[in-house]
Chain A
Amino acid sequence: MPHKWAMVIDLDRCTGCEACVVACHAENNIATAGPDQAARGRAKHWIRVERYWEGEFPNARVRFQPVLCQQCDNAPCEPVCPTFASYHTPEGLNAQVYNRCIGTRFCANACPYTVRHLNFYNPEWDKPLHLQLNPDVSVRSVGIMEKCTFCVQRIRSAEIQAEGEKRELKDGEFNPACVQSCAPKAMVFGDLNDPNSEVSRLSRSHRSTKLMGELGTKPNVDYLERDSWQNGKNI
């Protein structure tokens, strides 16, 4: 049976430590934009931790919400791409084929989550970061879009490994970098087609919601949150 990769993010566990952001940068060869470019709105994080404040001091609360590509089943970025660079894989991943991208940026405008990033310049790494590039991930040149892949390189290598050993993939056998680095274990990754996987179990939770599910994008990322999160009550 084909896999259907999905993620669950428990907002009640997230501490906003941003370890996922750092891990993602390291794993996926994401060049840092630098302070000047970041101030111009060109910071490039495939996963970001959004901070929202609720209430007024002294009863203020800060909420964290890691937002990455939601790997939508019904992705608005896919049909708008004139060159099939934004493409739906048979495993339901929302792939970005870098070599096909000509940089119309239509996908980035169509994405309601603003998780697609443009390479405004050719990537550069401050020394010695250039020595830690991941050989499994291609670097992206100027003018093309990039975004979270659910660490497709890890998915592929695990699948190939399992195929070589003539066995099924085990739940939790591998994880994307963000999930692996999440200290409070707020993020869980797995196969939704396996009803016994943890991600399947958690996605059936009564706390489960989709980010802007009302837009009909059918995201493959579930957020777990207590009702108070939506009602804005302090607990």
Chain B
Amino acid sequence: MEKTSEQIRADLLRPLFSTGPGYWTAVAIAASMVLAGVFAFCYQVYNGIGVWGLNSPVFWAFDITNFVFWIGISHAGTLISAILRLCNAGWRRPVTRCAEAITVFALSIGAIVPICHLGRPWLFYWMVPYPSERHIWPNFRSPLAWDFIAISTYLTGSTLFLFLPIIPDCAAARDLTRGWRRKLYSLLSLGWQGTPRQWHRLETAMHIMAIAIIPVAVSVHTIVSWDFAMTPVPMWHSTIFGPYFVVGAIFSGVAALILAMALLRKFLRLDEYLQPIHFDHLGKLLLTMSLLWVYFTFAERLTTWYGNDPSEMAVFWSSIRQQFAPLFWTMVVCNFIIPFPFLAIKKLRTITGTVIASTTIVAGMWIERFLIIVPSLEHKYLPYSWGTYRPTWVEITLMVAGFGMMALLYLLFSKLVPMISMWELEAGVRKAPAVPRHVVSLKPRPATGIAESEPFATDLSR
């Protein structure tokens, strides 16, 4: 497959200028999901948090499940993009932007969820450390204050990380458009002229961000896990939670990325860019994460079972054998039993195979977060105050709205910016020598910083 720079531009800029009825239908569906969520939230603010299904021992449920879930999904961008950039893996080029966009959008949703969940959401800004007339700082001992700082750092960092490689593409779009689009892209391209100095600065900045964002991402999900691990609640108070959550986050994030890529490939007709080999590579990564996830789940459960602490065993059995057993085993099936053959067997690791595996994994990881939160809260130490939880329509609508918002933001973004980084692809095409694909992955990378395993590598060297 051979693509020239002009063809790449034509293919990738096409979705920006031509819009079909299918797109508007999708936008309408996603927007109505978001509107339903806005309505549910207004209803909640008007009537009180009591319209949720929460009750006395179960003070967190769907809300924090969604929070951890979306923060988890946001880990797709970091891993794929930053790590693959630093490793100079050539196949990353068509993947990075969809991944980085997932990070920013999932993180925005993840940041909104805990604001909605507050008993008095209108006072959320009291979490912000600023010298106020209240003469009081946030409590920096609280994991929630850490959360606030970690997530705002990560959101700032990942927005920059997404934005930096967009600048040259916006400049390209600016040069091709007129009217309001030209104004918009002029603004977004920050006066990009493509001088060597600008390129140098851009690449330095991208390199700095790629290095900086990895520890931030790891710390964010570790801190999210500390929301649980820092409390003396049975099966929450665990040292394994930090790495367990990071692994779970990357796991669900990669799955979400595969789903997003498959959708983009289908609807933006990017078959020639997002190729089976990308799904194959990501499928291998997903397999690794699935195995790691099983290992962590096994280690966590085994140590609990062996320790045999009565309060922990109440939670343990409630999730494995009693009322949560159907959910627990569904989670195991979704996160391991179904994905494993699709990801481990080379013949099944196709686009369809990885999409099936990713779908079950995204569902399974949502259940995993629910099972971390609710069984523990239902079975705290005093059996007298045990309880049960059932969601109401408000919580379910807010959850649906989260997915709607992700779809909506992604849809709008795909009309604003090419979903694949044009200039990075072109750089790959330009510098890559023609190498048979099966040799590419084995060949050592050159020190120049440009990898050659581009799936559509051509001899179009200039």
Residues of A within 8 A of B (CB): 37, 40-43, 48, 50-52, 65, 67, 76, 79-84, 100-106, 108-110, 112-114, 117-122, 141-145, 212, 215, 217
Question: Looking at chain B, what size class is its interface with the partner chain?
Answer: 35 or more
> A81-B139, A109-B231, A110-B232 are contacts. A118–B382 as well, Cβ < 8 Å?
no
**Closest chain B residue to A85 by CB distance?**
B139
- In the complex, how many angstroms separate the beta carbon of A32 from the nearest chain B beta carbon? 14
* In contact, B380 and A143 (Cβ under 8 angstroms): no
Residues of A with C-beta under 8 A to B50: 37, 42, 120-121, 142
**Closest chain A residue to B142 by CB distance?**
A82
B53-94 CB mask vs A (1 if < 8 Å, else 0) is 111111110000000000000000000000000000000000
Interchain residue pairs with CB less than 8 A apart (12): A103-B120, A105-B59, A105-B60, A112-B232, A114-B56, A117-B56, A118-B54, A121-B48, A121-B50, A142-B48, A142-B50, A145-B119
Q: Give me 7 other A-B pairs in contact (C-beta within 8 A), A80-B231, A112-B380, A143-B49 excluded.
A: A41-B55, A50-B382, A79-B230, A103-B49, A118-B56, A119-B48, A143-B119
**Closest chain B residue to A113 by CB distance?**
B382
B106-140 CB mask vs A (1 if < 8 Å, else 0) is 00000000100111100110110000000010110
* In contact, B120 and A41 (Cβ under 8 angstroms): no
> A80-B143, A82-B144, A121-B48 are contacts. A50–B55 as well, Cβ < 8 Å?
no
- Taken together as a complex, chains A and B put the C-alpha atoms of A118 and B108 apart, in Å, by 27
> Is the C-beta of B399 less than 8 angstroms from some C-beta in chain A?
no
| B contacts with A: majority SS | loop
> Is the C-beta of B188 less than 8 angstroms from some C-beta in chain A?
no
- In the complex, how many angstroms separate the beta carbon of A99 from the nearest chain B beta carbon? 9
* In contact, B144 and A106 (Cβ under 8 angstroms): yes
**Closest chain B residue to A80 by CB distance?**
B142
- Taken together as a complex, chains A and B put the C-alpha atoms of A117 and B117 apart, in Å, by 16
- Taken together as a complex, chains A and B put the C-alpha atoms of A84 and B143 apart, in Å, by 13
Residues of A with C-beta under 8 A to B231: 76, 80, 106, 109-110
Which of B220-267 touch A at CB < 8 Å? 227, 230-233
Residue of B54, B55, B59 with highest tally of chain A CB at under 10 A: B59
> Is the C-beta of B381 less than 8 angstroms from some C-beta in chain A?
yes
Interchain CB contact (< 8 A) of B382 among A43, A114, A121, A122: A114
* In contact, B139 and A79 (Cβ under 8 angstroms): yes
* In contact, A102 and B382 (Cβ under 8 angstroms): no
> Is the C-beta of B141 less than 8 angstroms from some C-beta in chain A?
yes
> Is the C-beta of B296 less than 8 angstroms from some C-beta in chain A?
no
Residues of B with C-beta under 8 A to A121: 47-48, 50
**Closest chain A residue to B120 by CB distance?**
A143
Interchain CB contact (< 8 A) of B48 among A110, A114, A120: A120
* In contact, A83 and B384 (Cβ under 8 angstroms): no
> Is the C-beta of B148 less than 8 angstroms from some C-beta in chain A?
yes
Interchain CB contact (< 8 A) of A122 among B48, B60, B233: B48
> A82-B144, A114-B380 are contacts. A102–B123 as well, Cβ < 8 Å?
yes
- Taken together as a complex, chains A and B put the C-alpha atoms of A122 and B55 apart, in Å, by 15
> Is the C-beta of B337 less than 8 angstroms from some C-beta in chain A?
no
Residues of B with C-beta under 8 A to A52: 383-384
* In contact, B57 and A102 (Cβ under 8 angstroms): no
Residues of A with C-beta under 8 A to B60: 105, 109
> Is the C-beta of B19 less than 8 angstroms from some C-beta in chain A?
no
Residues of B with C-beta under 8 A to A144: 119-120
- Taken together as a complex, chains A and B put the C-alpha atoms of A67 and B127 apart, in Å, by 32
- Taken together as a complex, chains A and B put the C-alpha atoms of A82 and B231 apart, in Å, by 14
- Taken together as a complex, chains A and B put the C-alpha atoms of A122 and B387 apart, in Å, by 23
Residues of B with C-beta under 8 A to A81: 139, 142
Residues of A with C-beta under 8 A to B148: 82
* In contact, B59 and A108 (Cβ under 8 angstroms): yes
> Is the C-beta of B385 less than 8 angstroms from some C-beta in chain A?
yes
Residue of A51, A65, A108 with highest tally of chain B CB at under 10 A: A108
> Is the C-beta of B270 less than 8 angstroms from some C-beta in chain A?
no
Nearest 5 Cβ contacts at the A-B interface: A103-B119, A143-B119, A41-B55, A120-B50, A105-B59
- In the complex, how many angstroms separate the beta carbon of B63 from the nearest chain A beta carbon? 9
Residues of A with C-beta under 8 A to B333: none
* In contact, B120 and A100 (Cβ under 8 angstroms): no
* In contact, B47 and A109 (Cβ under 8 angstroms): no
- Taken together as a complex, chains A and B put the C-alpha atoms of A108 and B233 apart, in Å, by 11
> Is the C-beta of B145 less than 8 angstroms from some C-beta in chain A?
yes
- Taken together as a complex, chains A and B put the C-alpha atoms of A141 and B125 apart, in Å, by 19
- In the complex, how many angstroms separate the beta carbon of A19 from the nearest chain B beta carbon? 19
**Closest chain B residue to A114 by CB distance?**
B385
**Closest chain B residue to A215 by CB distance?**
B232
- In the complex, how many angstroms separate the beta carbon of B237 from the nearest chain A beta carbon? 10
- Taken together as a complex, chains A and B put the C-alpha atoms of A42 and B250 apart, in Å, by 37
Residues of A with C-beta under 8 A to B385: 48, 50, 114
- Taken together as a complex, chains A and B put the C-alpha atoms of A85 and B126 apart, in Å, by 11
- In the complex, how many angstroms separate the beta carbon of B350 from the nearest chain A beta carbon? 44
* In contact, B377 and A109 (Cβ under 8 angstroms): yes
- Taken together as a complex, chains A and B put the C-alpha atoms of A98 and B49 apart, in Å, by 16
- In the complex, how many angstroms separate the beta carbon of B316 from the nearest chain A beta carbon? 17
* In contact, B233 and A109 (Cβ under 8 angstroms): yes
- Taken together as a complex, chains A and B put the C-alpha atoms of A42 and B51 apart, in Å, by 12
* In contact, B49 and A142 (Cβ under 8 angstroms): yes
Residues of B with C-beta under 8 A to A212: 381-382
Residues of A with C-beta under 8 A to B120: 101-103, 141-144
Interchain CB contact (< 8 A) of B230 among A67, A80, A217: A80
- Taken together as a complex, chains A and B put the C-alpha atoms of A79 and B383 apart, in Å, by 25
Residues of A with C-beta under 8 A to B59: 105, 108-109, 118
* In contact, A82 and B139 (Cβ under 8 angstroms): yes
* In contact, A101 and B142 (Cβ under 8 angstroms): no
- Taken together as a complex, chains A and B put the C-alpha atoms of A225 and B236 apart, in Å, by 31
